[in-house]
Amino acid sequence: MTAFALAWRTARRYRARAVLAVVGVAVIGALNFDMLMLSHGLLISFADLVNSTGYDIRIAGTAGLPLARQPIDNAAALMTQIRALPEVASVAMLRTATAAAIRPDGPPEGVELMGSSDAAGLGLWRSLTGSNLDIAEGDPSLAPAVIARPMADRLKLAPGSTFSIRVRLSGSLSAMPAIPLRVVGIADFPFESQGAFVVATTMDGFRRANGGVLSDQAELMFAQSRPASGPDAAVAAIGKLRSDLRVFSNEQVIANFGKNAFTYFRQISVVLSTTTAGFSFLLVATLLTVSVNQRLGEVAALRALGIARRKIAATLLWEAALLVGIGGLCALPLGEVLALVLDRILRRMPGLPAGLHFFVFEPQSLLLHASVLIATAVVAAIYPVWLAVKLPIAQTLRQEVVS
């Protein structure tokens, strides 16, 4: 009989404890797997989000705080300059303002108004129904608008319907007249928080919402580098144009995010994955040790029958591998379900972009999870194996008979 067969029979004989050990390893393994996914999940998710926009360079002003940069001045001239650079394939600008959607049957609803020079949306929204801002149909006197799904649901708006919006001027005691917009599309805005009311319109629509007068500024600019030049050369070329610009490639934005944002969750994931690995080790080591202590007579009898120490050790290793292996396999689907629950909890954080996820599966997490479990099984089996192979056969058998 092979060592594996012997281990399998032992597990079947002590079925209850084996099942409980597998359940324990599966639950703790699921948590461990989730913490491994959490450690890189945000970064992967953010990278997916940033890279899905179709632009690989972001340009902001230098003034202001990192999360509240002041707009770029002389934006139109800068657009022209950037467009003329040989390293740049395309450039677009984004303007934002806080506004209120006027409801005929209730108080105004606060919305974020975006003006985009790219009718396809700069990658800031993903169309669900209707079209983008470049649609030619409908009343041309009304500016087109793509609105967020929660807003469409709440205000019962659909492509073809119209609504009015009034821009709020920050720091000024003035009120803009409300202007009507026609809804051309409903979209998800992955960079905005879940449930946020967002309205995206053309730069012309944005100007109209601001009373027809718009300062020559932009909150953010996006550029696409030419494949021959690459984003780094384009970043350097744009940075040389003016000193009041902060120019980042997508890679730099992601690297900055990795350094600064949500580091707490990454650290907590390291702490918890270490703790859960330790817990799994304790669980398996304790169960195997107690189990071997209980079966000392049985082990001594096997040794007396001529079964080699190596085979006894291999049997115990297989026992540990069976408990940890089956538990670890069960941990994968359990971990996926748990990750969905935990992700749903964390994504309720206010202001979190809707497209951002904390738990993202990647092969590296699976590899690390498997490595942790293999190490757990091996380390947990060391002491029970040592107990079994060092067993004095005659003395143990005598004690067993006397007891």
Partner 1 sequence: MFLVVLTLIAGPALAVAAPAAPDILVSRQLLAKAHLAIGDVVTLAGDPSGARARQFRVAGVYEPTPDPMKFNVERIEARLHLDDLLGLTADPADPASADTVSTINVALSDSPDPSRETSFSRSLSARSPFIFATPTRDSENTTFLVVDRFHTAIAAVTVIGSTAFLLALMVIRAEERKETVGVLRLIGISRKTIMTEVVVEGLLVAVAGAAFGVLIAAGAQHTVNRFFQARYDTALIFMRVSPAIAMRSIAVAVPVGVVAGAVASWMLLRRGTSALVRR
Binding site for partner 1 (CB under 8 A): 14, 16-17, 20-21, 23-24, 27-28, 30-31, 62-65, 70, 107, 110, 168, 171-173, 175, 244, 260-261, 263-264, 267, 272, 279, 282-283, 286-287, 290-291, 294, 338, 341-342, 345-346, 348-350
Vertex 296 angle, CA 293 and 299, to 5°: 130
Is the CB of 44 or the CB of 331 nearer to partner 1? 331
Q: How far apart are CA 287 and CA 18, in angstroms?
A: 9
- Give the nearest distance from C-beta 358 to partner 1 in angstroms: 9
> Which conformational region is residue 258 in: left (phi greater than 0), alpha (psi within -120 to 50 degrees), or beta?
alpha
Q: Smallest gap, in angstroms, from Cβ of residue 204 to partner 1? A: 26
User: In whole angstroms, how close is the CB of 302 to partner 1 at the nearest point?
Assistant: 18
Task: Please give the Cα distance from 128 to 122 (Å, whole number).
Answer: 16
Q: How far is the CB of 324 from partner 1 (least distance, A)?
A: 14
Residue 394 beta carbon to partner 1: minimum distance, rounded to whole angstroms? 21
The whole-angstrom separation of Cα 87 and Cα 360 is 34
- CA separation (Å) from 269 to 33, 41, 339, 359? 10, 10, 13, 11
Q: Which is nearer to partner 1, 196 or 261 (CB)?
A: 261
Distances (CA, A) of 307 to 333, 383, 390: 39, 20, 14
H or E segment at 259?
helix 250-260
b/e 328-354 (16+ beta carbons within 10 angstroms → b): bbbbbebbeebbeebbeebbeeeebbb
CB of 20 vs partner 1, minimal distance in Å: 4
Of the two residues 165 and 183, which places its CB atom closer to partner 1 in the complex? 165
Which of 38, 82 has the CB closer to partner 1?
38
Alpha helices, H only, 14-159: 15-51, 75-84, 149-155
Residue 217 and residue 356: Cα distance in Å, rounded?
A: 29
In the complex with partner 1, the residue whose CB is nearer, 206 or 281, is 281
Of 202 and 291, which has the nearer Cβ to partner 1?
Answer: 291
Pick the closer one to partner 1 by CB: 5 or 337.
Answer: 337
Distance of closest approach, residue 286 Cβ to partner 1, in angstroms: 7
